[in-house]
Amino acid sequence: MIKMSVRWLKNEPPNELEFEGISADGLRTLMGASSTPGVPKRHHSPKDLVAMGVAGCTGVDVVSILKKMRQPLQELLIDTEFSVTDEHPRVFSHCVLTYRFFGEGLESDRVLRAAALSYARYCGVSAMIKRSGCEFEPRLLLNGNDLSVEFVRALEELEKDNSSSVRANQSQLRAAVLLTGNELLAGKTADTNGRFIIKELNRLGIQVNEVRMVGDDRTMLGKTLNELAAVHEFVFMTGGLGPTQDDLTAEVVAETLKVPLEFSQEAWDICVRAFQLLGRTEIPESNRKQAMLPSGAGILPNGFGTAAGFFVTKSYPEHSSTLFALPGVPWECEQMFLQEVKKHLRSAERTFREWGPWHVWGIGESALQTQLSAVEHDLLGKYPNLHVSYQAHAGYVSYSFKAEQSAPNEEATAAADECDVASEVNRIEAIFGQRLLYRGTQTLVERLHEYFARADLRLALAESCTGGRIAAELTAFPGISAVFSGGVVAYSNQSKATLLGVSNETLRKHGAVSNATAAEMALGARRVFDSAVALSVTGIAGPGGETAEKPVGTVCFAVSLSEGLWGRLQSSALLESLSLQGWERVTGQPQSSDVLLCAEKRFGKHLPRELIQKRASVFALCTLVGVAESLGSVKS
């Protein structure tokens, strides 16, 4: 509780509007205004003190958090620039809030995180002013470098964290996923909808207890739907919304609810609009089936296809179950869930806070778990309901942990929870050391794109055994053209020589699968595409082609970059990280001033061809992410 008294001082004009503030513990502050135009005030006005309060409040938070993070903060300045308005009851209409951090060794990610936490969560004064309608414009500088764009991005990430820390009562909110379609059971189509829905529900704090897959069988669909709805608050059903006779979802749901099918004009309008977007004016009569939905169903608009989704609720003695029927086409299902379904999911009573994920390369799940066991033991002492997650990829491991917070509506508790695990987070990251690629929810390609763009650099590829898979991963990301110039798939020796300039002597002396050949491929790719960085890969994916010296699974990589970029990398921690992964600098290219890094990996002759190609592609992307982060973080 804060107790303050403000006493009027009864001074003579022009100082008769001066006051003295006295706190319960006797601290005194003078404030006031001049009653005569042109006569300056002698003390800060109440509005001045509010502005200072915002800066001071967020400053206390930031310094406390950075101290917990063990960051070497030397100086912090916080500037506020408030625009005053006469639009009562508002006092301020706009505020530019600028953080200026100084200190050698400050880590930008930690600084951004600390400022974002204070700005968006903890500072009660600024939160109060924001609620009054004042628009805030956040800015951040670190050692003179403007990181305002990154700060806004950190705030957006924090907002995602907030939305994924949805209040959920796990004992009450249970969900099931019902995947339908003969094509799934026949193995003709791989399911992605179930994985997507589970991931999104986990972010919302809703526990998925069961996933079932059923073919286009009316009896089996009805039986399964009844079983799931009887014990779950939510059932998410995908597929079966099309116009053909094997699309049974609407009919089965209507039978389960014991209601008739009715024509929905809203669903029909969605279907018509989809045809119009395709330039088609004639709609087959069979498509009218997509507008026949269970009586009383709510409509879920479809922005990409002809089939409207729908939702209905069935009551049971101890709970009610809401069924969401979604299209089977993955992009339609995902868009509908994100844009429509999430609006209807109930809020919750508990907050789940997640830390991470951290992405670590060059170490397996079991070894990582062994190294983290002591830290996890300490975390369990603070959060008995702690859940840790290890997700193994083909070449790196993602690690995160989450726990329930007891008081989701108290900002002070949230701040305490954030700082309460700071020491454990520092220990975790110390264990990861130079094996840590990055922390965040971005994919490898998203991270690569961000940091190459930040460094204003372009990338080229030369692929052999991966057959264009790395380029395919990159080009699947929209906007990658800003940093990716192009790639060459040079599979044969002739194409390596013709397209990339690999010398016949190198091929004869060292072979196609060698660091020497990979080096010349990377040099050629950088030259052909006039890019700042080029990566090459050549190897033996099998099942044939091996020798005693080079078994199946042998893959060679090279990275080519200029001397200038090499100088920037040497000032970062990347070289130690690359060394741990087997990368080393090579010399002996008399006709080139490029710096070359090479690595030879043995992914295992026992692995199938596809997995060797996958691991080689992921290793290449991890390397590029490391290079991108270093070049994007080091000032040129």
Single-letter amino acid, residue 56: G
Looking at the structure, tell me whether residues 432 and 503 fall in a common domain.
Answer: no
Single-letter amino acid, residue 47: K
Give the Cα separation of 330 and 208 in Å (integer).
Answer: 19
We report the CATH number of the domain holding residue 411 as: 3.30.70.2860
- The pLDDT value recorded for residue 179 is 97
In a domain, 74, yes or no: yes
Q: What is the pTM of this model?
A: 0.60
Looking at the structure, tell me whether residues 577 and 452 fall in a common domain.
Answer: yes
Looking at the structure, tell me whether residues 458 and 579 fall in a common domain.
Answer: yes
Backbone angles phi, psi at 81, to 5 degrees: -135, 95
In a domain, 294, yes or no: yes
Backbone angles phi, psi at 540, to 5 degrees: -115, 105
The residue among 406, 439, 472 that closes a domain is 439
Residue found by looking up tokens 């062994």 in the block = 370
Q: What is the pLDDT of residues 472-482, one digit of tens each?
A: 999 999 999 99
Single-letter amino acid, residue 84: V
How crowded is residue 186: how many other Cβ atoms within 10 Å of its Cβ?
9
* DSSP letter assigned to residue 231: T
- The pLDDT value recorded for residue 382 is 74
- The pLDDT value recorded for residue 599 is 96
The residue among 296, 329, 344 that closes a domain is 344
**Domain extent for 35:** 1-42
- The pLDDT value recorded for residue 388 is 87
With CA atoms as reference, report the closest residue to 484 among 382, 282, 628, 381.
628
Structural domain total, the chain: 5
| Pairing outcome for strands 436-439 and 234-238 | unpaired
How crowded is residue 21: how many other Cβ atoms within 10 Å of its Cβ?
15
- The pLDDT value recorded for residue 155 is 84
Tokens of 24: 């319960």
Give the Cα separation of 197 and 194 in Å (integer).
Answer: 5
DSSP structure string for 181-223 = -HHHHTTSS---HHHHHHHHHHHTT-EEEEEEEE-S-HHHHHH
- The pLDDT value recorded for residue 79 is 92
Looking at the structure, tell me whether residues 458 and 593 fall in a common domain.
Answer: yes
In a domain, 169, yes or no: no
Which residue intervals of 258-362 are DSSP H helices?
A: 265-277, 330-336, 342-344
CA distances from 205 to 339, 353, 376, 425 (A): 18, 10, 21, 22
Q: What residues of the chain score a pLDDT lower than 70?
A: 1-2, 88-90, 121-132, 159-172, 346-352, 404-419, 571-572, 588-592, 633-636
Strands of the sheet containing 4-8, edge to edge, are: 4-8, 17-23, 28-33
Give the Cα separation of 300 and 477 in Å (integer).
Answer: 27
Looking at the structure, tell me whether residues 188 and 291 fall in a common domain.
Answer: yes
Query: 378, 422 in Cβ contact below 8 A?
Result: no
Looking at the structure, tell me whether residues 532 and 593 fall in a common domain.
Answer: yes
In a domain, 335, yes or no: yes
- The pLDDT value recorded for residue 161 is 52
Query: 277, 271 in Cβ contact below 8 A?
Result: no
